[in-house]
A and B are shown apart, each in its own frame.
Chain A
Amino acid sequence: MTDKTDIILIINGRAHAISVEPRKTLVDAIRDDCGQTGTHIGCEHGICGTCTIILDGDAVRSCLMFAVQADGRHIRTVEGLADGETLHPLQQAFITHHGLQCGFCTPGFLMLAVNALEHNPNIGDDELLDVLASNLCRCTGYQNIIKAVRAARDEMRGAKAT
C-alpha cells in the first residue's frame, strides 16, 4: 500500500484533518473522509459537472483533482450555501422555478451558478447560457434551471442595490 498523506481540507470554513492515498480524488475525500455527501459523483471523468465545488474562488470539477492537491485550501460545497434555515437565493429560486426534478445534478449546478454570479453579479443572459452549458442535467431540459439562475441573479442584484 502507498503511504497515506495527512492533509487538511477546509470545507465551508471548517477544517477536516484527514489521511488519504495520493490517488484519491477530491470528491471521494470530501464525501468519504469528510462526510460531506452533498457533493455528488456523476461521470467521474470531467464531463457532467455534478461534482462541481468552489476551490479558492474558482469552480472546479472535484473528480478532476486529487485530494492531496487541495491540501490547506478553501473549499465551498452545497452544504455551505444556506444560512441556517434560510436558503441561499439560488436554492430558493431552484425550488420556485422547478429547477430540479431528481436533484442529482443540483449541487453541481448550484455551485457552478453561485460562482458565476459572485464573479459577475451582472452576468448577461447569453453569458449565463455559456456557463450553464458546463454541466449536464437529464431531467429538466435545462429551461427551468436557466429561469431559476436568471431569477436569482436579478434578486441578488436587487438585494445589493438596496
Chain B
Amino acid sequence: MRSGGVTRVDVRYEAPETLQAAVALLASAGEPAKILAGGTDVIVQMETDLIEPALLVDIKKIPELRQIVAENGGFRIGAAVPGLTIMDHAALAKTWPGVLDGVKLIGSIQVRGRASIGGNLCNGSPAADSVPPLIAAGAIARIIGSKGTREVPVEKIPTAPGKTSLAKDEIIASFFLPPRAPHSGDAYQRFTPRTEMDIAVVGVGINLTLDSSGTCTAARVVLGAVAPTVLLSKECADALIGTKVDAAALDKLAAAASAACRPIDDKRGTKEYRIKIAGVLAKRTAQQALEVARKN
C-alpha cells in the first residue's frame, strides 16, 4: 500500500470555519477538490491513488456541521458529526433506533470516532450502512452551495456508485429527521460474512407507522447493496401498507424485495444469493420495525 517513490499530486489543505468560506473555496477551486469530513474513505482513496485531489476542504471545523439539535419536533444532525456522537444521543436512539443501527455498523469503533453520515452518503457506495435507514426515515439533506440552499430527500443524492447529484460547489450541511407519528418504528439490518469491519452483502432499512388497530398506514422500505444505488422500493412499501404486517404481507414483501434487486456478483455474494437474501432480510427487518412501532 505504501507508495514508495511514486510522485503524488501536491495537495493543499484548508479547514474553513464557516460554510460560506468552504463553499467559496470549492467554487473558486481550479483544481480537483474533495471535501474531507471524517476522512475514512477519502484518505484511503488518496493513499491507494484512486483519487488525486489537489485541494482538500476539511469541514470538521464548521460548528453547525458538528451538532445535533432538536428542531420542529424532529432532529437536525450535522453532516460531519462523527458516528460515535450520534450513537451516544439518547433521544435519537429512542426515536430512530434503525438509523442508529445503521450508524453502529459503519466500520469499527475507531472508524466511527471519525466517520460521519454525510461522508457515508457522499462516498456514494450502494452498500453504505447509514443510507438505507436515513432514506427509510424520510431524511432531508440541507445542501449549501454558491447559488443558495436546497432541501433534498436523501434518496435523490446518490446517482451511481461513487457519484452524487451534488454540484462541485455544494456541501451537505445537515440532515433533518422528521417528527414521528405515534406507533412508528424503524429498523436496519444487514447481512455480512463477518460481524465487524465488513461491507453489506444486503442491507435493508424499513420505517413504518401503524394505526391504533395495528394496521400499517405508511411504510418506506429501502434496499442497500443490491443495485448501483441504494433503492427506495414503492413495491415493497405497498406490500406492507394496509396490512397488519402478518405472514402473508411479509411473504409479499420478501417477493417484492427480491424482485427489486439488480445486484452484481462479487466476492461477497453472487447475484442469486443477494436476491434471495434481500427477501429474507426484508422480512426480518420488517418484523423488527413492527416490534418497535408497537411499543411507541
Please report A residues at the B interface, Cβ cutoff 8 Å.
1-2, 5, 21-23, 25, 43-47, 49, 52, 55, 58-61, 63-66, 68-69, 112, 116, 130-131, 133-135
Are A133 and B197 closer than 8 Å at their CB atoms? yes
Please report B residues at the A interface, Cβ cutoff 8 Å.
1-2, 8, 10-13, 15, 36, 38-40, 43-44, 46-48, 56, 58, 60, 82, 84, 107-111, 113-114, 195-197
* Interface SS of B by simple majority: loop
Are B110 and A43 closer than 8 Å at their CB atoms? no
Given A133-B108, A133-B197: A25 and B113 interface contact (C-beta under 8 Å)? no
Provide the residues of chain A in CB contact with B58, threshold 8 Å.
Answer: 69
A-B pairs with beta carbons under 8 A, tally: 90
Q: Which 4 A-B pairs have the closest CB atoms?
A: A134-B108, A22-B13, A133-B196, A2-B10
Q: How far is the CB of B59 from chain A (nearest CB, A)?
A: 11
- A-B contacts, 7 of them at CB < 8 A, read A1-B10, A2-B10, A22-B13, A23-B8, A45-B44, A66-B56, A69-B36
Provide the residues of chain A in CB contact with B113, threshold 8 Å.
Answer: 55, 58-60
Are A130 and B110 closer than 8 Å at their CB atoms? no
Chain B minimum-CB-distance residue to A136: B197
The distance in angstroms between the C-alpha atoms of A55 and B113, with both chains bound, is 9
Are A112 and B110 closer than 8 Å at their CB atoms? yes
Are A46 and B40 closer than 8 Å at their CB atoms? yes
Are B60 and A69 closer than 8 Å at their CB atoms? yes
Are B12 and A22 closer than 8 Å at their CB atoms? yes
Provide the residues of chain A in CB contact with B38, threshold 8 Å.
Answer: 64
Provide the residues of chain B in CB contact with A133, threshold 8 Å.
Answer: 108, 195-197
Chain A minimum-CB-distance residue to B2: A44
